[in-house]
Amino acid sequence: MLIKICGITTLEAALAAERAGADFIGFVFAESKRQITVEQAQTIAAQLTIPVVGVFVQECSQRINDIAAAVPLDYIQLHGGEDENFAKQLTKPIIKAFTKDEVLSPFPATFTLIDNVQAGAGKSYDYSKVKLQKNSFLAGGISLATVDQALACQPIGIDVSSGVETNGQKDNEKIQQFIVYVRSQTNV
């Protein structure tokens, strides 16, 4: 089971996620309460050994590629109406996000990610109603309280952000507890 801790804004949280055994961390470059600057992302990424994902919403391909090179990013996560032609313009492997109600269309992505209606909304839903592909992550309101329902769907990975926060900030203890619990349930 792959685990991505998304919405990282501090070096402390990134290192906590890495130490706890996260497989990826995510930086949000789109407008969000978790938005990070390129400079902040560079500083944090320079201290990590795990893959770094950049999250973008309706951004132009040139800006995405510039940020991917500058940070550097290992993956580009797209949350918008991007099509295959757009994907061909990108220089890094792609994680393509779909909402739970969308029909997953063929898309040249390494991974797909199924989220609730809006990315970063932090609202759980009935994960069992989602049609997963073999390369799909589940996201959206996942926390220790909901992760068992998500794991029962057997996604390739879990993406968590608000579920490991306290008062809107990443909580190192919650990150640790979440990862340890998921690993204990999946034996990976």
Q: What is the pLDDT of residues 156-186, one digit of tens each?
A: 999 999 999 999 999 999 999 999 999 999 8
* Backbone dihedral region for residue 49 (phi beyond 0: left; psi -120 to 50: alpha; all else: beta): alpha
Q: What is the pLDDT of residue 118?
A: 60
* 188, pLDDT greater than 60: no
* 2, pLDDT greater than 90: yes
Distance of alpha carbon 5 from its chain centroid, rounded?
A: 6
Instruction: Judge whether 1 and 158 are in contact, CB under 8 Å.
Output: yes
| 62 pLDDT tier (thresholds 50, 70, 90) | very high
Q: What is the pLDDT of residue 119?
A: 60
Q: What is the pLDDT of residue 121?
A: 60
Give 113's strand partners: 97, 137
Q: What is the pLDDT of residue 124?
A: 84
Please state, for a pLDDT cut of 90, what percent of the chain lies above it: 80
Q: What is the pLDDT of residues 35-55, one digit of tens each?
A: 999 999 999 999 999 999 999
Structural domains of the chain in order of their starting residue, each with its CATH number: 2-186 (3.20.20.70)
Q: What is the pLDDT of residue 131?
A: 85
User: How many angstroms separate the Cα of 4 from the Cα of each of 18, 84, 106?
Assistant: 10, 24, 23
> pTM of this prediction?
0.94
| 100 pLDDT tier (thresholds 50, 70, 90) | confident
* 87, pLDDT greater than 60: yes
